[in-house]
Amino acid sequence: KHAEDHIGFLTEELYRKTLWEHRPLTDFWRIGRGTVNRLGSLGLLTMKDVAQADEDMLYKMFGVDAELLIDHAWGRESVTMADIKAYRPESSSISSGQVLARDYSHEECLLVVKEMTDALCLELADRGLVTESVTLSLGFSNALKLGHVHGTASLPEAANTYRAIVPHVCEVYERIADPKLPIRRLSLTANHVTQEAYVQYSLFSDREETERDRRAQKAALEIKRKFGKNAILRGMDLQEAGTTRERNSQIGGHKSGEFGEELAGDMAEREPEAAGETHKGDQSDGKSGKEQQNKTENGPL
């Protein structure tokens, strides 16, 4: 990361030249204190020592893990870039999480859970994916030192719309959360995601409602791409305990700085106009573009 082009490389020869004598060994990946202590008992203090050690002795102490340790000591990587590119996991998931700026009450955190569900659904829709189940994990106030709890809900059928998923996420929340305990951390995961094109839907599902929701998601994604993530929001996002607007202005979980603040200010000025242009066909009822933007969470967007 200190290179001007931010690109680093390490060959086996360069590895042995620069790192064979490096200490402590705990600076190396997969080398913990326990491993260091066991190597030390054999008089092995550097990677060079490990590379030149008797392999039978290493296998006797570390078992099958000795193979990785020996390759590591020689600077070898058995997995090639071709292997990595060809790898396909048996199952995949999409998750998001956040640490709240303060302890949240039961009701406040429920709002954040709904916001995260909305964001996760939009990400699924944007990538053409659906999920079969969702897992919610909650971490309580740091002062309580209670660890975390989690729960999972299976969906009646694979889905990616807010209307279809949020009731199940809320059910999990009410099941695992203690209303008396403040919450500080939470994460939401869409499990076993698959391509939407491969899914067969039940004869009993409301296909028209699902298609309406998907068209609304597509429109919301297009607006966000064109005008910024905060150009269109749910009404719940405007509540005091909401975190969506702030998270939308962050980069990698951090505030985006002066440029981000200027951009956010510019977007705030453009949002009414942008929303008005986007929803011209919906304004026959007299609502302004801004009012269209601030739809409640029960609306189609």
* CATH code of the domain in which 22 resides: 1.10.150.20
Q: pLDDT digits over 258-286, tens only?
A: 434 444 444 444 444 433 433 333 434 44
Say yes or no: 174 and 245 in one domain.
Answer: no
**Model pLDDT, residue 283:** 39
Cα–chain center distance at 191: 12
- Spatial distance between the Cα atoms of 181 and 69, rounded to a whole number of angstroms: 45
Q: How many CB atoms lie within 10 A of CB 90?
A: 5
Quick one: DSSP state of residue 201? P
Q: Which residues on neighbouring strands pair with residue 95, listed in sequence order?
A: 189
**E strand segments, the chain:** 94-104, 129-140, 148-159, 183-191, 194-195, 250-251, 254-255
Dihedral over alpha carbons 234, 107, 149, 182 (to 10 degrees): 130
The pTM (predicted TM-score) of the whole model is: 0.54
Q: What is the dihedral of CA 53, 57, 59, 65, to 10 degrees?
A: -50
Q: What amino acid is encoded at 55 in this protein?
A: E
Tell me: do 95 and 195 sit in the same domain.
Answer: yes
Q: What is the count of structural domains for the chain?
A: 3
Residue 1 reports pLDDT greater than 70: no
Whether 116 and 194 map to the same domain: the answer is yes
Q: What is the mean pLDDT of residues 228-246?
A: 85
Domain coverage including residue 111? 91-199
Assess contact for 137 and 186: CB atoms under 8 A.
yes
Q: Which of 25, 53, 81 is the last residue of a domain?
A: 81
Task: Tell me the average pLDDT of the chain.
Answer: 80
Encode pLDDT of 32-61 as tens digits.
Answer: 899 999 999 999 999 999 999 999 899 899
Burial class (CB in 10 A: 0-12, 13-18, 19+), 141: middle
Give the span between the Cα atoms of 44 and 38, in whole angstroms: 9
